[in-house]
Amino acid sequence: MLGPVRHRPHSEKRKMQDKNNRWILTAQCPSRLGTVDVVTRFLKEQRCYITEQQSFDDHLSGHFFIRTEFRPEAEGFGAEAFQAGFAERAAEFEMTFELTAPGTRMPVVIMVSKADHCLNDLLYRYRTGQLPIDIRSIVSNHPDLASLAEWHGIPYRHFPITPETKPEQEAQVREEIEASGAELVILARYMQVLSSEMCTRLSGRAINIHHSLLPGFKGAKPYHQAYEKGVKLVGATAHYINDDLDEGPIITQGVEPVGHADYPEDLVAKGRDIECLTLARAVALHVERRVFLHASRTVVFDR
With helix as H, strand as E and coil as C, how does 128-192 read?
Answer: CCCCCEEEEEEEECCCCCHHHHHHCCCCEEECCCCCCCHHHHHHHHHHHHHHHCCCEEEECCCCC
The reply to whether 76 sits near its own copies by the rule CB under 8 A is no
Binding residue for its own copies (CB under 8 A) from 6, 16, 84, 130? 130
**Identity of residue 100:** T
Binding segment toward its own copies, per CB under 8 A, in 80-88, 156-164, 188-196, 256-264: 256-264
Binding segment toward its own copies, per CB under 8 A, in 7-15, 47-55, 89-97, 98-106: 47-55
The reply to whether 156 sits near its own copies by the rule CB under 8 A is no
- Measured from the CB atom, the residue of 160 and 257 that comes closer to its own copies is 257
Binding residue for its own copies (CB under 8 A) from 235, 275, 279, 290? 235
The reply to whether 261 sits near its own copies by the rule CB under 8 A is yes
278, with CB counted inside 10 A (0-12, 13-18, 19+), is buried
* Inter-axis angle of helices 79-91 and 35-45, nearest 10: 150
The reply to whether 33 sits near its own copies by the rule CB under 8 A is yes
Sheet with 250-257, side-by-side order of all strands: 156-158, 133-140, 106-112, 184-187, 206-210, 233-240, 250-257
Find out whether 158 and 150 touch, Cβ atoms under 8 Å. Answer: no
Question: How far is 1 from 124, CA to CA, in rounded Å?
Answer: 24
Least distance between its own copies and beta carbon 68 (Å): 8
The reply to whether 249 sits near its own copies by the rule CB under 8 A is yes
Is 18 considered catalytic here? no
Closest among 295, 268, 292 to 56, alpha carbons compared: 292
- Measured from the CB atom, the residue of 180 and 290 that comes closer to its own copies is 290
Give me the active site residues, please: 246
Give contact residues for its own copies (rule: CB under 8 A): 19-20, 31, 33-37, 40-41, 43-44, 47, 49-60, 73, 116-117, 120, 124, 128, 130, 151, 213-217, 229-233, 235, 249-253, 255, 259-263, 265, 269, 272-273, 277, 296-300, 302-303
